[in-house]
Amino acid sequence: MEPSDSLPALNRLFMQALLRMGEAGETDAACRLAAQGWSLLRHGQPKEAERLNGVMHSLTGPRRNSKKESPDSDNQALSTATRKETLS
């Protein structure tokens, strides 16, 4: 492996660890570490910094295949209940 290949490979390992931290319920800590990494890389290695930005979005975005209902469905249920009360 060339020295220039080491940073992207190390960043991939870092990203995997951050995502695992998020899965283990340590989302805030993972986001803080990702943000620190992004700050270190943003000028010299912008492509790698953007990858960490993507990890932060993955950590804080809606979960795929989640059984939890979306906020929109909660709002829709609330609207339906409010309409029923108004009609009563």
Domain count along the chain: 1
**Residue 47 placed within a domain:** yes
Contact status, residue 53 vs residue 41, Cβ threshold 8 Å = no
**Residue 80 placed within a domain:** no
Structure tokens at 61: 């975005």
Which pLDDT tens digits describe the chain residue by residue (88 residues)?
666 789 999 999 999 999 999 999 999 999 999 999 999 999 999 999 999 999 999 999 987 545 444 455 445 555 555 555 555 4
Contact status, residue 58 vs residue 19, Cβ threshold 8 Å = yes
**Residue 78 placed within a domain:** no
pTM of the entire predicted model: 0.68
**Residue 85 placed within a domain:** no
Structure tokens at 56: 């932060």
**Residue 39 placed within a domain:** yes
Nearest-angstrom CA–CA distance, 65 and 54: 19
Q: Which of 85, 39, 33 is nearest to 59 (CA)?
A: 33
Range of the domain at 56: 1-62
**Residue 81 placed within a domain:** no
**Residue 82 placed within a domain:** no
